[in-house]
Amino acid sequence: MAEESETEVQPKQGHQVIQAYLKTIDSSPGVYRMLDSESRVLYVGKARNLRARVSSYARPTGHSGRIARMIASTASMMFLTTRTETEALLLEQNLIKQLKPKFNVLLRDDKSFPNILVTADSDYPQIKKHRGAKKEKGAYYGPFASAGAVNRTLNQLQRVFLLRDCSNSMFESRTRPCLQYQIKRCSAPCVGKISPQDYQQTVQDAEKFLSGKSTDIQARLGREMAQASEDMEFERAAALRDRIKALTQVQTAQGINPKNVDEADVIALHMENGQACVQVFFIRAGQNWGNHDYYPRVGADVDPAEVLEAFVGQFYDTREPPRQLILSNAVENPDLMADALGQKLGRKVELLVPQRGEKAELIDSALRNARESLARKMAETATQARLLQGLAEAFDLPKVPERVEVYDNSHIQGAHAVGAMIVAGPDGFMKNQYRKFNIRGDELTPGDDFGMMKEVLNRRFKRLLKEDPDRTRGMWPDLLLIDGGAGQVSAVREIMEDHGVGDIPMVGVAKGLDRDAGKEEFHRTGKTVKALRHNDPVLYFIQRMRDEAHRFAIGTHRAKRSKAVGATPLDDVPGVGAARKRALLAHFGSAKAVARANLADLKAVDGVSAALAQKIYDYFQTG
């Protein structure tokens, strides 16, 4: 009789899988990743001691609900050792932003912040808003919390210091003062209304103001006003008086204006019902440069210290931290976080949780804003959830949609054609998911909306099938809204079936009788045309999504058209960048004149070397 042997069945996921890794990892600092059965990253964490941290997950009990669910879904793990725990923290935050794991606290807003730039390429520097890499020469001041905060500050600076904000090309082509001079927002350096020396003095004053030295400026302007009055230069005295008055108004209008905080970010966290809002105030040069609210993805059982540490780490992963962070709550590892941020900045960064004094008052103000912002957000989310539920009921959808994609085209008689896609979900419009499509079809008849929509949808589904073939990453739509009637619906359905995605619900929104808003007709494959009551909230919701798609498409089209209008043959000449293009156009007046210029004239242009002049000459002579 054969002896029966019992084969040990290896666990596929759960704490026993994690237990097995303890045999192969040591006590080094590093980063670990927990993956599910389909190799999707569930969680990214750091550890001073990888073995000790992983052993805590190997226990079958004693975990919060969120951690227990994560452990139960874990089928494998990955490890990366680092030299220090600080390196592990920096790597962890970078991986979280890159991989967006399901069980991590996740900061979903990753936009850059604008700065104010005072240029350094002219005797009459320009002051302007700047966003992105700091490649242009000049002095940068920021960050500001929003474009609105920058625009308000620029408006104030123009009133006080009368600096130009026009582009170099406009500045060089002026022959008489513009409206800004007439309304006392510019000193008109373009036509010599102010000397280079006096203009440079106002630039220095503006930079002192942006550096927090406004009191010094007021004192000097006061002395100059008194001297002008004594010298009976009453017009100049009046102008100086107006500047002092404007400067005083700027200082009193800033609201939060700390006396003893020069450079800091004030970060306050409010959590309620499994949701969180983080409010950030930007204090630079002793001035409030605006605030911004964030809604990180959290769970119901996440500790505030964990949320705030994750937020700080991810927020400053691609941003320069200030010298001081004033926090509403302590983070889990304050010394480690301060060390990591200090390494990034190249100087000491201090983390404070104030209990009294001016800094505590700043936190109280930020907390109040966070609490009010979260209340508004929760009310909006509840309304959005009801609208999505109504959308599912109106069109007999198999489930309540979490991702609605709306498409539209824009062109003028077929020229500069673009397609646009906007996305709406439980949190409203998801602007970081918007996409634009430059229509490439050379064989398309100008103005062929059917053809343009086909091209856009073909490209969209080809990309989805390539990047997320299993539909597991949340990139696939639960509903498509198409601008058009039965013809567009039929064309789009054909494309979807060609790609094997005909199961995705799709609705065509036609203008309806008299093309009036409120009389829209909704077309679906194999179903009768549907209309909604004129006062139905779902109808307003669809109109709002359609209008947003139209707005985005129009804006994209205008940007493309403006770029085409500004294009010249100089754009194609090797070695001619934006600055040399401006210099050539300013010297010759037009691209045609540049093309007709002889070699000697090209060499006479500032910034154009003999070698580049030869390239430009050869390009147009042989072209």
Half-sphere exposure of 547 (CA within 13 A, CB side): 9
**Mean pLDDT, to the nearest integer, of 165-172?**
84
* Least confident span in 16-30, 393-407, 447-461: 447-461
H-helix segments, 396-530: 449-467, 486-498
CATH class given for the domain over 264-376: alpha beta
Which residues have a Cβ under 8 Å from the Cβ of 502 and sit 6 or more positions away? 493, 496
DSSP-derived 3-state class of residue 22: coil
Specify which residues 169 forms β-bridges with.
none
**C-alpha triplet 248, 252, 258: angle, nearest 5°:** 115
**Cα separations (Å) of 249 from 98, 246, 252, 523?**
44, 5, 5, 57
- Spatial separation of the C-alpha atoms in residues 477 and 472, rounded to whole Å: 12
* 47 band by pLDDT with thresholds 50, 70 and 90: very high
Q: Give the percent of the chain with pLDDT over 90.
A: 27
DSSP characters for 165-184?
-S-HHHHHH-SS--HHHHTT
Residue 494 has a CB neighbour count (10 Å cut-off) of 13
* 4 band by pLDDT with thresholds 50, 70 and 90: very low
Two tokens at 144? 């500001």
CATH number of 15-104: 3.40.1440.10
Helix (H) or strand (E) holding 261: none
Answer yes or no: is pLDDT of 557 > 70. Answer: no
| Contact between 598 and 476 (Cβ < 8 Å) | no
DSSP-derived 3-state class of residue 43: strand
User: In the chain, what are the domain boundaries?
Assistant: 15-104, 114-253, 264-376, 404-563, 578-622
* 252 band by pLDDT with thresholds 50, 70 and 90: low
Of 212, 214, 340, 351, nearest in space to 287 by CA: 212
Helix (H) or strand (E) holding 185: none
Whole-number pLDDT of residue 75: 92
CATH class given for the domain over 578-622: mainly alpha
Two tokens at 59? 């226990």
* 533 band by pLDDT with thresholds 50, 70 and 90: confident
* Four-point Cα dihedral 27, 30, 36, 40, nearest 10: -170
CATH number of 404-563: 3.30.420.340
Whole-number pLDDT of residue 561: 60
Which residues have a Cβ under 8 Å from the Cβ of 426 and sit 6 or more positions away? 381, 384, 385, 388, 402
Same fold, 264-376 and 578-622: no
Helix (H) or strand (E) holding 139: strand 138-141
Does residue 9 or residue 587 have the better pLDDT? 587
- Spatial separation of the C-alpha atoms in residues 551 and 408, rounded to whole Å: 9
Which residues have a Cβ under 8 Å from the Cβ of 200 and sit 6 or more positions away? 123
